[in-house]
Structure formats: structure tokens, C-alpha cells
Chain A
């Protein structure tokens, strides 16, 4: 089945620790996105990538980093510099010639 997978479903971070969230898609989509979702707020863009080996910061990139070494994969690292990382993280992808984004199932990050 084609789709977007995110892992893990739940992730616990200790203070001062870097953690990496996985996002993989087999839809052959060129563009991939990372959003953060907090209760009562809309989706906020962290990073996005239009092609392999290229990515741009979104509205709230501070404390996060990404890589795009393969078309299928767009991992997000939450660094120790992100002081309030507790949130629901969503990965999305899109075909270049289409406007619609499709989302993965999400990862909930909690701080111990």
C-alpha cells in the first residue's frame, strides 16, 4: 500500500537529549513537510523540502534540524535547543504537479 509512515508513534525525550522522528513515503512525492500541532492552534510549519538535498526553514525552525538525502525520507531531529518540544508532529508530502498535501499518522513527543 502506498502511503506515509511515521515512527515512532510515541517518543519520550529526556532533558538535554536530541531525538529523531522518522518520516518515510512510497508515493514518489517530491515535496515533504514537517508540521507541529499544539492543542487549540493550527498546524505550524517547521521545515519543508522540495527536492532531495534541499530544504527550507518554516515558521518555527529554531531547535529543529532535518535532512533530505533520499526522496523517500525526511527525518526531523528535535535538538536540546528546543525548550518546549512536547507536541504532536506531522509529516506530509505532495507531488510537484499537484497542490494537495497528504499526511502521515503523526508522532507524539513527550518530555520526561
Chain B
């Protein structure tokens, strides 16, 4: 059974204070690892898909990286508007259904 664990559950940063969110996973044959951003009361917004260890993707202040056991979402010089819950999910084998983690709630203080 696929498992996804996100840490920390909550993270408070000062504006400009860079940090990383972790997504540890256990799957049998990774087909894809996904990062989403979710604002309160809204649906998850797609950020990145990573397919193989060593892959990296960037978007503005966000950079996602992938190893064989975990993924990191690095946030460089965050701003208050980066405050949200960040969800990680994995898709494995021949499944059509991703497994989601419980998310990391990020608050960036001005």
C-alpha cells in the first residue's frame, strides 16, 4: 500500500525566511509525485509533477526536488501570499488513483 507522509504539519516563517517542506513516500514503482497548493475554502491548485529521482522543477519562489524516498518543496524568500496548505501526492504502478498526504500548512508573517 502506498504511503505519503508530509512534514512538518504546520510551519510559520517570517517573510524572506527560506525553508523546505518534506514529502516522504513509500510506493511500488513511482509513476509520478505531485505538489499542489490549496488556499482555504478552495480547490487544490496544481504546482508540479516529478517523475524520476534527481528531477527538479521551479516556479517563482518554489522549487521541487525528488529522490527515491522523498520530495522537498523549497520556498525561497517567501512572501505572505505564499501562505497556504501544500499537498503532496504519489501515483504508483498501474493505479489510476493517487495517494495524498495530509498537507503542510504554511503561514508567512510580514
Binding site for B on A (CB under 8 A): 4, 6, 31, 33, 40-43, 45, 48, 50, 58, 88, 90, 94, 99-106, 108
Contact = CB atoms under 8 A, between A and B. Distances in A.
A38 to B, nearest CB: 10
Contacts of B45: 103
Interface residues of B, number: 22
A63 to B, nearest CB: 20
Interface stretch (B35-43, B60-68, B71-79): B35-43
Contact of A105 (B32, B43, B89, B98): B43
Contacts of B34: 99-101
Contacts of A48: 96-97
B86 to A, nearest CB: 13
Q: Is the interface of B mostly helix, strand, loop or mixed?
A: strand
Contacts of A104: 43
B49 interface: yes
B80 interface: no
A45 B49 contact: no
Interface string B14-35: 0000000000000000011010
Contacts, number: 50
Q: Is the interface of A mostly helix, strand, loop or mixed?
A: strand
Contacts of A42: 4, 87, 100-103
Contacts of B49: 99-100
Contact of A99 (B4, B31, B87, B101): B31
Given A90-B43, A99-B31, A108-B41, A31 B96 contact: yes
Given A99-B31, A99-B91, A100-B32, A43 B43 contact: no
A33 B97 CA distance: 9
A48 B89 CA distance: 17
Contacts of A106: 41-43
A94 B46 CA distance: 12
A33 B43 CA distance: 13
A101 B98 contact: yes
B32 A99 contact: yes
Nearest to B4: A42
